[in-house]
Amino acid sequence: MKKRKKAKKDTKIRDLKPKKDAKGGLIGLLRPDSPKGNPGPAPDGYRMSSKRFKTEVHNMDKASEAILVLKPVTFRYKKELDPEGILQFGLVAEDVEKVNPDLVGRDDEGKPSTVRYDAVNAMLLNEFLKARRQMDAQQKQIDALAAGLQKVSAQLDVSQAAPQTVVNNR
């Protein structure tokens, strides 16, 4: 029986420590010297997310509404990129740029080359949460209206159930 190789230890988010690039900036963050605003590579494929690395943190509020006009598409990459031509689902960077330029990454020439799906996902979550709060509020309204209707119906049933006799002595 062959011995199995011991699996590498899985990297956990808690195990990640910020690393510095050649210029001394933290890897995985937006660098102030990056004119394109492209984030550098994050260690082990993770994006730095701790509040220790952030400033000017605000609720997204209406900023996420931009995603409501994005047009998801299906597509296939050109043969030189994907010889198998597997069907893909996503967005077109140039279309996204028209809606919100902060949602695209750029190539060395400054042209849009990728969509920042991590940002799109955060915006989707914000819109989902806003919709959920609205649905919860509407459900409370529906419940209150249904309870009121039930009371009125019960009162109507009581008033119709008791026969009333009118005496006319003329």
pLDDT tens column, 131-153: 999 999 999 999 999 999 999 99
Say whether pLDDT at 86 is over 80: yes
**Counting Cβ atoms within 10 Å, is residue 123 exposed (0-12), middle (13-18) or buried (19+)?**
buried
Say whether pLDDT at 7 is over 60: no
Using alpha carbons, list the distances in angstroms from residue 152 to 113, 138, 147, 149: 62, 21, 9, 5
Q: What is the pLDDT of residues 89-112, one digit of tens each?
A: 999 999 999 999 999 999 989 999
d(CA 30, CA 102): 12
pTM for this model (two decimals): 0.62
Query: Which of 16-25, 46-55, 100-109 has the lowest average pLDDT?
Result: 16-25
pLDDT the model gives residue 22: 57
CATH class of the 61-159 domain in this structure = mainly alpha
